[in-house]
Structure 1
Amino acid sequence: MGGTSPGPTAALALKTPEIARRLLWDPSLGFGEGYMDGSIEPIEGSTIYDVLDVLILNLAEGGTHPAMQVGQGLRQVGRRLLDLNTAVRSRRNVAHHYDLNGTLYSLFLDADRQYSCAYFPTGEETLEEAQVLKKRHLASKLRLDRPDLEVLDIGCGWGGLALTLAGEYGARVTGLTLSEEQLAAARARAEAAGLADRVKFELMDYRAWNRPMDRIVSVGMFEHVGINHYTPFFRTVKDALKEDGVALIHAIGQTGGPATTNPWITKYIFPGGYSPAVSEVIPAIEKAGLWVTDLEILRLHYALTIRHWRERFAANRNAIKAIYDERFCRMFEFYLASSELAFRRWGHMNWQVQLAKKVDALPLTRDYMFETERAAAAQAAYPHDPPPSTGPREKVGQDAERAGD
């Protein structure tokens, strides 16, 4: 039971004396490793999710273990070395997670392989519905108000967003990835969809891009940039935008101010990864000389997303074990359970920041976002009808003149 209030319960067994010593001296790393090797085992009907839920609630109410405090302090001191993501190191970090067997991801993601936070307006949507709504939400903020706008997708994954922006919004998209596995899959998908003339995918670090674009989007990639590189990242975004361009960055964040990444996550899941507080991001944007034209915080959307992933992973566990082994399955179960709980209990969230070089690059209000989403929903519901028009984009100066009439 967590803290002083009634809450969830769970039970576990420590199978060896060694694991007790590891938990005493390095609980942040030792607990996950103990579950992976079977020396920590949930019992009495409990799951690893149940166990972690109780532990996280107790930490939230009762404070952290002294050994955890020491470890976190040391990581805080060395965080700039830990997050020194050069181009070579970034390529290696990406390969660690995203160049896994492609079948693995097809067994727990949606059909479009959206490996980022979905969008749940009610919380009752299916995973497929929520991922479609996520792409629609992103597109509305990109202000794709005319055909053939050139879009740069930094960290394009398996290409699902790029294909949607090209196929449904008439954009011309270039997707960048550091994963050879994702690159091959994305290119094959573009060919199969008949969009190879509108969508290109490149194995390229964002720092190598040198041509201005109308729009830039980046979803679930900023977590891998590293705190040393925030200002250079946004300067790269600014340099890659045309004068009236718009950028949209979507990433995981946390509400408690600057922190560090859990060492188990760093070692086994996302080396070089860090989910920043918004207070660490905004100063870098300001230094780069960009306008923050919109900022949205998505609460609990990722918890709902990961719950779907956990359930699908569990349903396909035997197939995944046949690809890898039991230890890999336990590693991924621990990753998914702890990640979901980070969003439910531990102050994690997602942020979406819209950026522009010019103060008048976008309309005065956010109405165009809602209108674009409504139009896309209507088109999806009645695909044979002509697409509804939200009207041509008008300059802010013209809007202001009308307002003064």
Structure 2
Amino acid sequence: MRTVDRTGDLLICDCGRRYPVVDGVPIILKDPTGYLRADTMTVVERDLAPEVAALLVEGTPDDAPYARLLEHLSIYLDAHWGDRADPPVEHALGAINQRLAALPRVGEAVELGCSAGRIAAELARRARSRARSRSPVRYRPTEGRRAAIRILLAFAMPAPQSSMMKQLARLKFSGNALKVPDKWETPSGDPGAKHWGDAFKPSEKSTSPDPTAPPLFMPHTLNKYHTDTQKKLTQIVGSYMDGIVDAICSAWSTWQSTAVMTGLLINGPVASLGQVVGPPLTPLILASGPKKSPAELKYTNTISNIIGTSWLSYTATIKVPGLPWYPAFAAVPSPVAPPMPNIPTPVIALTQVTTPVSAQMMKNQMIGMHADPTAQYHKEIFDAVCDAFEKCFTIWQASTMVTNILGTGPVPTFAPPVAPVGPVVAGMGNMTPGGFT
């Protein structure tokens, strides 16, 4: 899209595609139809007084679209702003807000997955705060309901971008300061130094090295044959690392869009346990990784197998450590709680063992599996790829949210009029694909 012209409540680009504008916010997506098919109710919902909204859903089933939307919104508001309610209620972000209050001031802070905006509001007290969220969310201040804020930055946090991982891998490899040709020693003494000086034309004695930044290799001298070796190796190794990183990030993206978390145990508002299930990374990486030569195929086979096995070992350890994901399930006025999504939580907040995906662990496993001590620069390549993977994984942990785990379950103590409400007991929660955002 080169230019966008505003026409009424539509954005129209040069190619003729049209995008809706709601409350002054353009909804520009690759597939707006698919998004709106699932979220139209959220997009077109109006700001109504709570009493009016309650009256509109009075007598309607709990699973009616607008009733579910209001219930969903209520859960998010309680989780983020419960301490501002009248009377105040315990809110899920209380402990996080206390930790934020102790942070020093910074120039800029970014929250990925801002949801109903409480953390972004807290960060704004200490920095220029930027909030990003996948879903459109409205929240109203406790006083002055005429004011309302809509956050609509509709995109999911993707798996790590290959451009970042490539740069991290190249930086790590560059840190080895490898000089080429290998084991070169400039001739000295008589007649070695004279022969070395007489063997080349003046134009060959001082040439430009490869300008790639960061430099993967350094020439021993500026002799043409040394800089040519540097350029050739930089192209070969750099091209391979870029290709394998592209394959890793593509596989990671596929995994993230299809993986789910299932088998959560829900008792009252608290969810625990669960299991992450997703496609194996090994065949995905192997399918698109570099394989132009037998050497590349062997490297790709080693890297894809170790990363795939390590990722599977890591994801098998991810469990929910007893989080208050379903506040409404503490008192449900029906024999069975209607399906309800969990409170979005970053992956890093879950119980997990990250040792399998540590750079040192994977590097050692790759060296062992490759089983070829003579393979040139294999340790440095494995080290660079694993280090970049670990750094991107650390960012992914903190920025990826666990969302849309639909919980439900029986309410065995529900017995009106004696007990008109009761907690969910032994309920279950299951994520729909795309819940890791």
TM-score (norm 1): 0.28
Q: Which has the higher helix share?
A: 1
TM-score (norm 2): 0.26
Which one scores higher on RCO, CA 8 angstroms, separation ≥ 6? 1
Which protein has the larger Cα radius of gyration, Structure 1 or Structure 2? 2
